Amino acid sequence: MTHTSIGTDGTAGLRRRNRPGPRRRSRFSRVPALALAPALALSLLVALPPSAPAATHTLSVTSPSLIFQQGQGAVEFGSSAASVSWTITDEQGTRVRGGTSWLSGGKATIPVAGLAPGYFGLSLHAGSSTDPTDLRTSFAVIEPVPDGVVGPASPFGAAVHIGRAGWGLNVLDEVRRTGIAHIREDAWWDRFETKKGSYTFPAAFSAEMARARALGITPMIIANGANPLYDKGHTPSTPEGIAAFGKFAAAVLKQYGQSNVEVLNEYNAGTFNNSACGKSAACYLDVLKGVYQAVKAADPGASVVGPATIGIGNCVAADGTKCFAPDLIDRGGLKSMDAYSVHPYHYPGGPEWLGGSGDTIAGLRQRIRAANGGKDKPIVLSEMGWPTDTGHGTTERQQADNLIRLYAIGLANGVTRVYWYDLVDDGSDPTNKEQNFGMLRQPVTATTANPVSVTANAPKPAAVAQAVVARMLGGKTYAGTDGLSAPAYSLRFTGSGTTRVVWATTARDLTVSATGPVTLVDSWGRRSVRQPTDGRFTLEAGPSPVFVEGPVTGVGAATPQ
């Protein structure tokens, strides 16, 4: 029998590479995001100081998942100590609950079923003041995301690297739990074709595809890399190499019953492309055509996505030289793709620039229409995210805010799908940018010097934001704005009723006009109801978006009193 906790309750619930910087790459109180950063940037664990002796006791959080549905669950933990004291704090670092648990068989639980939705920190302490063992981690409580949100038409996706350190198949269950419907994963050519014309299908990749299918998640497979059997190991560039690459892409889709393939990754940069042809749009188009023809011959209904550029590249230099996007489009590239993908990193700045003119998503959409008979072609952000390392100025709270704002701005400008980069941190070094893009943390392994461990991929605030935006906007379509001027935004989405996403990059008072009570949902998933007086109320908007539902007739700038 496992002992539960004895405690006191407070009020519950109140990449891998060097990316360029801006433009090229990349509650309802007025609390600046930076003011919350110390509480939100929770350390995953508290390490011993260098001079301290090894701790006497072990501590481990053993829950298979640290994302709980509201009204359910308990944090499972173990220790070699007889008792462990613990504290739960909210996203602002305010104590919510605390107590002491006596362990039975080295195990105990802390119920979280009574907590309202939100993001929480958990601190565990074992031992005396002279030989303490301390562990800090995070967990989330979310409202269930409806099953209907996870489907082929959903815009919610994430980049995954199953098989890397800290990435088990279990993270796909976390994907499903937070309302993500799509994953983007690499299929490296040389791992599938080790003998010319003959394919093997790695067991780990096959297990991933099977688990995704079981969860109702749709993979977009990246036909990626080079093969020493062709083109001297360079990115496919000769007719023979391109033809073989196309057959490989078609074979992978057929093997796994999938119909979405992206052609290579960031061809316009040198990190993943060593083609003998070069990095130009003309060179890429040869490969794109080869894959398109091979895949469509095998499955006419398959979707071929490209060019997966780093940056948007929708520009023309002063000397008239075309950047990648206009060059590819003017060469007829749209005929060999079913969706146009880009990686418009822009950290640490927010996503609002995507709706501007020129080298933006709005500008790319305009160019595609001009070349496509006035018709849209789906635009996919197959990578987009913000790192939370200590050197790039994005706090965990800002990362979460940007996730919601990205979906709102993207959907308003013709984006059909976003693959958040990425699902899990690729390491645990807080100073390393490429190790800190995730919405989930790495598991923690105990060491002799610091005998603490966390089995699950603990969430960052972005994981909570993902679940909230999926539940609030899932199944809805963009329907226009309320005409606010920057820095304030109010975007309308309709489906079963109208949901507005309201925020201001710099705090602003807004006036909400309504004919009855209005429900507000903050970025943590908490609800409140506002009753208008004389048909209106004031909403203090800030960088954290608020979802507004009810008989709202408009949102405007507040009128000075």
Task: Work out the burial of residue 459: count CB atoms within 10 Å of its CB; fewer than 13 is exposed, 13-18 middle, 19 or more buried.
Answer: buried
Q: Domain boundary residue among 442, 457, 476?
A: 476
Q: Quick one: 262 and 193 in the same domain? A: yes
- In-domain check, residue 372: yes
Return d(Cα 435, Cα 202) in angstroms, integer: 26
Among residues 230, 238, 232, which one has the least CA distance to residue 197? 230
pLDDT of residue 33: 36
Q: Quick one: 205 and 295 in the same domain? A: yes
**384 SS3 class:** strand
Dihedral of CA atoms 338, 261, 358, 547 in degrees, nearest 10, equals 100
Q: What is the pLDDT of residues 148-161, one digit of tens each?
A: 889 999 999 999 99
Percent of the chain topping pLDDT 70: 90
Q: Quick one: 471 and 501 in the same domain? A: no
pLDDT of residue 80: 95
Residue corresponding to tokens 């090229």: 24
Q: Distance of CA 456 to CAs 2, 121, 137, 459, Å?
A: 20, 14, 10, 9
Return d(Cα 279, Cα 324) in angstroms, integer: 9
Percent of the chain topping pLDDT 90: 86
Q: Are strands 74-79 and 59-61 parallel, antiparallel or unpaired?
A: antiparallel
Q: What is the pLDDT of residues 248-266, one digit of tens each?
A: 999 999 999 999 999 999 9
Q: Quick one: 329 and 448 in the same domain? A: yes
- In-domain check, residue 39: no
Give the CA angle between residues 157, 163, 166 to the nearest 5°.
Answer: 85
- Average pLDDT on 29-51 reads 40
- Average pLDDT on 470-498 reads 96
Number of structural domains in the chain: 3
* Other Cβ atoms closer than 10 A to 422: 22
Residue 181 DSSP one-character state: -
- Quick one: pLDDT band at residue 130, thresholds 50, 70, 90? confident
* For residue 16, pLDDT beyond 60: no
- Average pLDDT on 2-23 reads 36
pLDDT of residue 5: 35
Q: What is the pLDDT of residues 380-433, one digit of tens each?
A: 999 999 999 999 879 999 999 999 999 999 999 999 999 999 999 999 999 999
- Quick one: pLDDT band at residue 54, thresholds 50, 70, 90? low
φ, ψ at 180 (rounded to 5°): -80, 130
Q: Quick one: 246 and 194 in the same domain? A: yes
Return d(Cα 484, Cα 500) in angstroms, integer: 13
Q: Return mean pLDDT, the chain.
A: 91
Return d(Cα 154, Cα 557) in angstroms, integer: 32
Tell which phi-psi region holds residue 390, choosing left (phi > 0), alpha (psi between -120 and 50) or beta.
alpha
Q: What is the pLDDT of residues 316-352, one digit of tens each?
A: 999 999 999 999 999 999 999 999 999 999 999 999 9
* For residue 17, pLDDT beyond 70: no
- In-domain check, residue 517: yes
Q: What is the pLDDT of residues 81-129, one digit of tens each?
A: 999 999 999 999 999 999 999 999 999 999 999 999 999 999 999 987 7
Q: Quick one: 461 and 532 in the same domain? A: no
Residue 168 DSSP one-character state: -
Tokens in use for 16? 């891998």
Q: Quick one: 174 and 304 in the same domain? A: yes
The answer to whether 240 and 257 have CB atoms below 8 angstroms apart is no
- Strands, E, within 339-440: which ranges? 339-343, 379-384, 415-420
Return d(Cα 132, Cα 58) in angstroms, integer: 10
Residue 44 DSSP one-character state: S
- In-domain check, residue 6: no
Residue burial 369-402, b: 16+ Cβ < 10 Å; e: rest: eebeeeeebbbbbbbbbbbbbeeeebbbbbbbbb
* For residue 502, pLDDT beyond 80: yes
pLDDT of residue 40: 42
* For residue 18, pLDDT beyond 50: no
Return d(Cα 153, Cα 149) in angstroms, integer: 9
Query: Residue 494 is part of a domain; what is its CATH number?
Result: 2.60.40.1180
Q: What is the pLDDT of residues 530-557, one digit of tens each?
A: 999 999 999 999 999 999 999 999 999 9
Give the CA angle between residues 138, 146, 517 to the nearest 5°.
Answer: 90
Return d(Cα 283, Cα 13) in angstroms, integer: 55
Return d(Cα 417, Cα 410) in angstroms, integer: 8
* Other Cβ atoms closer than 10 A to 51: 5
- In-domain check, residue 230: yes
Query: Residue 438 is part of a domain; what is its CATH number?
Result: 3.20.20.80
* For residue 8, pLDDT beyond 80: no
- In-domain check, residue 205: yes
Query: Residue 106 is part of a domain; what is its CATH number?
Result: 2.60.40.2550
pLDDT of residue 11: 32
Q: What is the pLDDT of residues 137-192, one digit of tens each?
A: 999 999 999 988 899 999 999 999 999 999 999 999 999 999 999 999 999 999 99
The answer to whether 457 and 440 have CB atoms below 8 angstroms apart is yes
| Cα 116 off chain centre by | 23
* Other Cβ atoms closer than 10 A to 453: 20
- In-domain check, residue 48: no
Q: Quick one: 290 and 374 in the same domain? A: yes
Residue 485 DSSP one-character state: P
pLDDT of residue 12: 31
pLDDT of residue 561: 54
- Full domain range(s) for residue 380: 153-476
**46 SS3 class:** coil
Q: Quick one: 353 and 379 in the same domain? A: yes
Helix H segments across 230-323? 239-256, 281-298
Q: What is the pLDDT of residues 260-304, one digit of tens each?
A: 999 999 999 988 999 999 999 999 999 999 999 999 999 999 999
Q: Quick one: 165 and 218 in the same domain? A: yes
Q: Distance of CA 488 to CAs 81, 335, 373, Å?
A: 52, 38, 34
Residue 310 DSSP one-character state: E
Return d(Cα 341, Cα 337) in angstroms, integer: 10
Q: Quick one: 403 and 523 in the same domain? A: no
Task: Work out the burial of residue 24: count CB atoms within 10 Å of its CB; fewer than 13 is exposed, 13-18 middle, 19 or more buried.
Answer: middle
- In-domain check, residue 25: no
**Integer Rg of the chain from CA:** 25
Return d(Cα 336, Cα 18) in angstroms, integer: 30
- Average pLDDT on 462-482 reads 97
pLDDT of residue 56: 79
Q: Quick one: 309 and 434 in the same domain? A: yes
294: amino acid identity, one letter? A
* For residue 518, pLDDT beyond 70: yes
Q: Domain boundary residue among 476, 497, 523?
A: 476
The answer to whether 90 and 66 have CB atoms below 8 angstroms apart is no
Among residues 33, 107, 32, which one has the least CA distance to residue 63? 107
Return d(Cα 516, Cα 502) in angstroms, integer: 18
Q: Domain boundary residue among 476, 496, 512?
A: 476
Return d(Cα 186, Cα 15) in angstroms, integer: 14
